[in-house]
Amino acid sequence: MAPFWVGIPIITRGQSQCPFPSRERDDADVLLSFSRTWKQLAADMAAGVPRPDYQIGPPGREKEFAPLLLARAEMLERFAKDMKGEGPDDQGGQEM
């Protein structure tokens, strides 16, 4: 099956933000891109670093929502790696 382009915009404050500009990526690459973005955002939220470009949860509760976002980012990363054949059940991976 040939890879196809998927665009999943994130709607925040009425603006659409898509972290991948290229149509050359497959589905797993798109998911990995979101995972990397969410991991960085979770780290910033946990550290109390303001991010005017993203808002997860109500203002003032960033540290509470950071571990939830990180868990979702890690789940998305595992799913994407499974799609690419890099998961724990594939060659060279480790079981969780």
Alpha-carbon torsion angle 26, 6, 85, 73, nearest 10: 120
- The domain tally of the chain equals 1
Q: pTM (2 decimals)?
A: 0.66
More confident residue, 13 or 24: 24
| The pLDDT value given to residue 56 | 85
Residue spans of alpha helices (H) in the chain: 27-47, 62-84
Residue 77 lies in a domain: yes
Residue 16 lies in a domain: no
> What percentage of residues in the chain have a pLDDT greater than 70?
64
Residue 51 lies in a domain: yes
Give the whole-angstrom CA distance, residue 46 versus residue 51: 12
